[in-house]
């Protein structure tokens, strides 16, 4: 895939879909390179941007995949391209959120990407998720300084960048909860992005526990943990520390995830949360006790597929799995189940 895909394309393709995305990031702006926009280096403060991605017509693409430009800037008739991109400040970011809610959209979906993601990769992947899930939520991308390389030193740099960015994510989520026009916030986190997300949620939960009432924190409804590159023991302590002050959690695992096998090796053989068998003990009992909903995507395995990104590559099948579980529930319609909440968090 070509680098520097953030150069806007003026051409408009018939049948293409425009996906606007608001961005908060701890990456360093690439002010001299509009094709990169943000690098993999760490910034000293949060930056903001507004990007629109053109997704080609469904009849010329494979659902669940990003059709990368064969050469920059790309052909909107058959490839994902950037149709608009600009830097904005915090006030403009807040204004654009408020403006987006005027059309009746009061839900926000926040995406936190994982290891080995350049800025353009995180933007295009999120556009694909938004488009293919048919989400009506306002898309907000939190992107942190990943080098976008597959190497041990890059993995360690990314891990420290994740640690570096957790307070910034907590700050973003807190500001979103305080926006009066927003009624609900849902988070989709992938791979190493789950670590940042859980740490931010932990911080928010600790603050909330010391407040007289839940207040705006109640807007945090669902957190979808996809292929989490998180130590299972650390996850246990994070959940225990959050207590009751946390959103509903849905976990997506694949027992054939080779990326998490490698991560397990790097971290001394301790299992990663995204590769566990949810039917094994003590996981089954712990998940049930913690009211953590689990979706095992191992059954969706296809030859040549990547288990680490299976939830997004096979998003149609995953949505069907969620809907099927929802339909299996037999509860009064006025009391939404956990499965209903998981399905609705992507809408």
Asked if residue 172 belongs to a domain, the reply is yes
Asked if residue 242 belongs to a domain, the reply is yes
Asked if residue 164 belongs to a domain, the reply is yes
339: CB partners within 8 A, 6+ apart: 293, 322, 325, 326, 328, 329
Helix (H) or strand (E) holding 318: helix 315-328
Asked if 46 and 79 touch (Cβ cutoff 8 Å), the reply is no
Residue with tokens 């712990």: 286
Asked if residue 64 belongs to a domain, the reply is no
Q: 24: which 2 tokens?
A: 């908060």
Residue-level pLDDT at 330: 47
Asked if residue 148 belongs to a domain, the reply is yes
The DSSP annotation for 209-261 comes to HTSSS-GGGGGEEEEEEES---BHHHHHHHHHHHTT-S-EEEEEE-TT-HHHH
Q: Which domain holds residue 107?
A: 96-344
Asked if residue 195 belongs to a domain, the reply is yes
Q: 110: which 2 tokens?
A: 């926040």
Asked if residue 83 belongs to a domain, the reply is no
Domain harbouring 250, CATH code? 3.40.50.1820
Query: Count of domains in the chain?
Result: 1
Residue-level pLDDT at 127: 98
Say how many C-beta atoms besides its own lie within 10 A of residue 203's C-beta: 19
Asked if residue 308 belongs to a domain, the reply is yes
Blockwise average pLDDT, block size 10, the chain, 347 residues:
81 94 97 91 97 97 94 93 97 96 92 96 97 96 94 93 97 95 96 96 87 74 96 95 91 95 91 96 95 95 89 92 75 49 64
């Amino acid at each position: 895939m070509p680098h520097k895909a953030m150069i806007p394309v003026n051409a408009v393709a018939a049948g293409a879909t425009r996906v606007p995305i608001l961005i908060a990031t701890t990456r360093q702006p690439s002010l001299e390179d509009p094709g990169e926009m943000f690098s993999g280096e760490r910034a000293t403060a949060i930056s903001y941007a507004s990007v629109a991605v053109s997704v080609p017509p469904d009849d010329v693409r494979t659902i669940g995949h990003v059709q990368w430009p064969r050469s920059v800037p790309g052909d909107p008739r058959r490839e994902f391209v950037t149709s608009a991109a600009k830097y904005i400040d915090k006030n403009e970011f807040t204004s654009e959120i408020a403006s987006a809610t005027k059309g009746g959209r009061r839900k926000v979906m926040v995406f936190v990407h994982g290891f080995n993601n350049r800025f353009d990769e995180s933007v295009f992947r999120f556009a694909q998720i938004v488009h293919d899930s048919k989400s009506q939520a306002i898309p907000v991308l939190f992107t942190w300084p990943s080098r976008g390389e597959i190497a041990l030193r890059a993995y360690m740099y990314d891990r420290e960048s994740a640690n570096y960015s957790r307070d910034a994510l907590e700050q973003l989520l807190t500001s979103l909860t305080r926006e009066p026009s927003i009624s609900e916030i849902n988070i989709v986190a992938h791979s190493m992005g789950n670590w940042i997300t859980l740490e931010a949620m932990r911080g928010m939960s600790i603050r909330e526990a010391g407040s007289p009432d839940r207040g705006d924190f109640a807007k945090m409804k669902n957190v979808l943990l996809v292929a989490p590159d998180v130590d299972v023991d650390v996850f246990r302590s994070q959940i225990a520390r959050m207590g009751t002050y946390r959103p509903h959690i849905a976990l997506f695992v694949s027992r054939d995830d080779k990326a998490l096998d490698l991560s397990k090796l790097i971290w001394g053989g301790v299992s990663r949360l995204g590769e566990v068998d949810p039917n094994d003990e003590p996981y089954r009992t712990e998940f049930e006790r913690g009211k953590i909903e689990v979706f095992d995507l191992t059954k969706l395995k296809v030859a040549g597929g990547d288990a680490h990104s299976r939830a997004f590559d096979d998003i149609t099948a995953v949505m069907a799995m969620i809907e099927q579980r929802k339909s299996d529930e037999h509860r009064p319609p006025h009391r939404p189940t956990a499965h209903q909440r998981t399905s609705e968090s992507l809408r």
